[in-house]
Copies of this chain bind each other. A is one copy, B any other.
């Protein structure tokens, strides 16, 4: 007999391996071995490897914004909330060993799959919408950049900082991005 939570253990293990190693390089064999479940149990819960990938993306998307909401809750004011976005992602990258954005990693590997691409876009769009919303809440801002440009710049600073961090396995670039953000905000 096995303690319940088989489906959860499959998804957790697959999620970890997909992120750490990559999707295509992670085989079903490794997943069932490390999750310590039977081969057919996996296919019982997830009809195919692709379904497992989509579940991973959906699950990560949900927990990502849950964590973000909790992180932003104690922060007051749109400007500080925007800067907290940098801290949130830096903190997450530290936790995940600087392997970059979960969604960008998958996008690089499987962006031809429309179901995958849709989920990546949905995730990024929601993040971008949040940035736009916060920027619009800043009172009497005077800058050479208009609101849309500022929001785009902040988004790209965030994305870029994480992407570069992947190469150096550090948050240095993201910290620099935050400094730049502090200057232009």
Contacts of A121 in B (CB 8 A): 167-168
Shortest beta-carbon distance from A183 to chain B in Å: 6
Which one, A53-61, A86-94, A158-166, is touching chain B? A158-166
- Give A153's nearest chain B residue, CB to CB: B180
Q: Which of A36-44, A66-74, A77-85, A98-106 forms contacts with chain B?
A: A98-106
CB neighbours (8 Å) of A168 from chain B are 121
B interface footprint on A142-173 (CB within 8 Å = 1, 0 otherwise):
00110001001101110111011011100001
Encode A171-185 as 1/0 by CB contact (under 8 A) with B: 001001101100110
Give Cα A10–Cα B120 distance, bound, in whole angstroms.
33
The count of identical subunits is 2
A25 part of interface (Cβ distance < 8 Å): yes
Q: How many angstroms between the C-alpha atoms of A152 and B164 in the bound complex?
A: 11
CB atoms of A124 and B164 under 8 A apart:
yes
Q: Mark A94-121, 1 if CB is under 8 A from B, else 0.
A: 0000011000110111111000010011
Among residues of B, the one whose C-beta sits closest to the C-beta of A159 is B160
Number of interface residues of A (CB under 8 A): 41
Cα distance, A164 to B160, chains bound together (Å): 10
Give the residues in chain B near A107, CB-CB below 8 Å.
Answer: 166-167
Any B CB within 8 A of the CB of A2:
no
A36 to chain B, nearest CB (A): 24
Q: A183 — which chain B residues lie within 8 A by C-beta? A: 144-145, 149
B105, B110, B145, B164: the one within 8 Å of A184 (CB): B145
Residues of B with C-beta under 8 A to A149: 176, 179-180, 183
Contacts of A155 in B (CB 8 A): 160
Q: In the assembled complex, which residues on chain B have CB atoms less than 8 Å from the CB atom of A111?
A: 99, 166-167
